[in-house]
Amino acid sequence: MKAVIHTGVPAPWAAPVNRVPWALLPLGNRPLLEYWLEWCSDMHILDIRLVLDDGAKQIEEYVGSGESWGLQVTYGFHRNQNDPVHFLKRFSSDDLLQGLMHVTGPAFPRKTGMQSRHPESGKTLAYINEGRALCVLSRDPAFLEAWIKGQTDLSTHQPDQFESLGREIVPLESLKDLYEINMSLVQGEVQNYLQPGYYDKDNVIIGYNVITPPTATLSAPLIIGNDCRISPMTSIGPNAVVGSHVLIDRQSEISDSVILSGTFIGQGMEIRSKIVFGNTVIDPYSQAVVTIPDPWMVSEVQSLPAFRDILESLFSRMAAGVIALTQLLPFALLFGWKLVQGSRFTHKEVQGRNGRVLKLPLYTQAKVSHGISDRIFMALGLDRYPHFLLAFYGRLWLCGHRPRTVQSQAAQDMNEPDAGAFPAAITYADLREQDNDADLERVEELYYRHHRSLWEDMRMLGHFIIKRWSDFFRGRN
Which amino acid type is present at position 224?
A: I
Minimum gap (Å) between residue 290 Cβ and another protein: 29
182, HSE (Cβ side, Cα atoms, 13 Å): 34
Minimum gap (Å) between residue 350 Cβ and another protein: 20
Minimum gap (Å) between residue 308 Cβ and another protein: 18
Q: Is 233 exposed, middle or buried (0-12, 13-18, 19+ CB in 10 A)?
A: middle
| DSSP H/E element including 229 | strand 229-230
Whose Cβ is closer to another protein: residue 49's or residue 110's?
49
Whose Cβ is closer to another protein: residue 201's or residue 474's?
474
CA distances from 473 to 165, 314, 477 (A): 73, 33, 10
Find out whether 377 and 368 touch, Cβ atoms under 8 Å: no
Minimum gap (Å) between residue 80 Cβ and another protein: 9
Whose Cβ is closer to another protein: residue 132's or residue 463's?
463
For the chain, what is the radius of gyration of the CA atoms?
Answer: 28
CA dist., res. 183 & res. 186, Å (int):
5
Q: Is 225 exposed, middle or buried (0-12, 13-18, 19+ CB in 10 A)?
A: buried
Whose Cβ is closer to another protein: residue 58's or residue 184's?
58
Interface residue list for another protein (CB under 8 A): 52-54, 56-57, 60, 74-77, 79, 89-92, 428, 431-432, 435, 437, 439-440, 442-444, 446-451, 463
238 three-class SS:
coil
Whose Cβ is closer to another protein: residue 285's or residue 447's?
447
Which amino acid type is present at position 161?
A: Q
Whose Cβ is closer to another protein: residue 296's or residue 447's?
447
Whose Cβ is closer to another protein: residue 331's or residue 448's?
448
340 three-class SS:
helix
Phi and psi angles of residue 315, each rounded to the nearest 5 degrees, phi first: -60, -45
CA dist., res. 378 & res. 369, Å (int):
11
Whose Cβ is closer to another protein: residue 249's or residue 444's?
444
Minimum gap (Å) between residue 49 Cβ and another protein: 8
Q: Are strands 47-52 and 2-6 parallel, antiparallel or unpaired?
A: parallel
Which amino acid type is present at position 189?
A: E
Minimum gap (Å) between residue 252 Cβ and another protein: 36
